[in-house]
Amino acid sequence: MNLLNPVSAFNEWTDHFLTRYLARKGRLQRLQLDAYRSYGTATRFYIKGRLLGDRGLQPQAATDSRWRNFRSMVRRFNSREIAGADLVAELPDGSQHLVSTDDEGYFTLILEPHALPAPTSYLWYPIPVRVARLPAPFAAEPTNAVQATASVLVPPPGAEFGVISDLDDTVFETRATNILKMLARTLLSNAHSRQPFEGVAAFYRQLQRGRTGRPDNPFFYVSSSPWNLYDMLDEFMGLHELPPGPLLLRDFTIATPKTTPPPGVTGSAAIHFAHKLHEIDDLLTTYPTLPFVLLGDSGQEDARIYREVVRRHPGRIRAIYIRDVQVPERALLVTPIIAELSAEQVPMLLVKDYASAAAHAAGLGLVK
């Protein structure tokens, strides 16, 4: 039995009780509708978001103290979820699509537009979402201003390949192999105080442009970080000019994996493995003719996850880059996987820096 299951259930029950109590007393902050960046095709859109009581987050700044960052992080995780609310998404053809929020305030919609809306920026298409009805005891809350716009990434026909990247210890340092250091970096930093690894943004932009020089190649960021961190991660990517892409994160309360992990993968590693594999499977299924480049690190399960992706989707992976986190025992686990995939004509490279990865990608003809 996973002891996190009853703990998560109790935490969920207390959150709902307190949220409803505050609403009855008129002390709930105004509502906030978050629509996460997502992806789709010309005929199918995937949309996800969350309805919460406003968490009172202030704009992040490089001068913020660790104490202020910690208080902001507490607000992110001490969320007030609004369950059972009805939302409406409207397509350009005028059709309206209804969805209800689940127990954690999340909503998920799969839409089939008859025509693409006008893009708000290159590759990105807007879908407005609004609150239509709130359950008791929230019914007295005004809903006319509770709205958001979901931005949906649709790769153009000229895309050469897609890119799937991890975040923690791949784009920025988290020290996931050391739980205390990981907690300190997560709880005491913000989008401005975190720094990307040297060369990662430039290499990612190279991959986005590929051989054509056009930013056609779509990026997708798959991470086991919780959705509570979405705003911070999204701002971080914009600050450091990383190619924008959907952030596919994880529900913090889920304590059991979506799919059965391989033998020997247990606990949090199993949840991490199953979440990432599930999201990557969905991406490769959504774009069946698009090859992919995968990027991760040696700190967790990325190499083994990507090996399983190659098995499930033969002929789809152009290259795999694993950043070396400088923990020798973790690097030793990657070496046999590199040899195994080499026999299947899939290059996997363990790199200490992104200049090495860029040189290798140029040798493969992925970038100029």
- Residue 256 predicted with pLDDT over 70: no
Lowest mean pLDDT among 191-195, 202-206, 321-325, 357-361: 191-195
- Residue 27 predicted with pLDDT over 80: no
The C-alpha atoms of residue 321 and residue 164 are separated, in whole angstroms, by 11
Residue ending a domain, among 102, 134, 153, is: 153
| pLDDT score recorded for residue 28 | 52
Residue ending a domain, among 98, 125, 153, is: 153
Q: What is the pLDDT of residues 258-274, one digit of tens each?
A: 556 666 665 667 888 99
Tokens for 356, please give them: 């090495």
Q: Looking at the structure, do residues 267 and 290 belong to the same domain, yes or no?
A: yes
Q: How many CB atoms lie within 10 A of CB 252?
A: 18
Q: 117: cis peptide before it, omega within 30°?
A: no
- Residue 13 predicted with pLDDT over 60: no
Q: What mean pLDDT is predicted for residues 200-209? A: 98
Considering its fold, how many domains does the chain have in total? 2
Find out whether 79 and 53 touch, Cβ atoms under 8 Å. Answer: yes
Q: Looking at the structure, do residues 148 and 293 belong to the same domain, yes or no?
A: no
Q: Looking at the structure, do residues 186 and 143 belong to the same domain, yes or no?
A: no
| pLDDT score recorded for residue 119 | 79
Q: What mean pLDDT is predicted for residues 303-311? A: 96
Q: Looking at the structure, do residues 90 and 194 belong to the same domain, yes or no?
A: no
- Residue 360 predicted with pLDDT over 90: yes
Q: Is residue 4 part of a domain?
A: no
User: Domain residues for 40?
Assistant: 28-153
CATH number at residue 67: 2.60.40
Pairing of strands 348-351, 317-323: parallel
- Residue 366 predicted with pLDDT over 60: yes
- Closest listed residue to residue 96, CA positions, set 82, 83, 86: 86
Confidence of residue 315 (pLDDT cuts 50, 70, 90): very high
Q: Looking at the structure, do residues 258 and 275 belong to the same domain, yes or no?
A: yes
Q: What is the mean pLDDT of the chain?
A: 86
CATH number at residue 319: 3.40.50.1000
Percent of the chain, pLDDT > 90? Answer: 59
Q: Is residue 19 part of a domain?
A: no
- Residue 57 predicted with pLDDT over 80: yes
Confidence of residue 142 (pLDDT cuts 50, 70, 90): low
Q: Looking at the structure, do residues 110 and 167 belong to the same domain, yes or no?
A: no
Q: Is residue 17 part of a domain?
A: no
Please, which residues have CB within 8 angstroms of residue 323's CB and are 6 or more apart in sequence?
169, 170, 197, 295, 296, 297, 298, 351, 352, 354
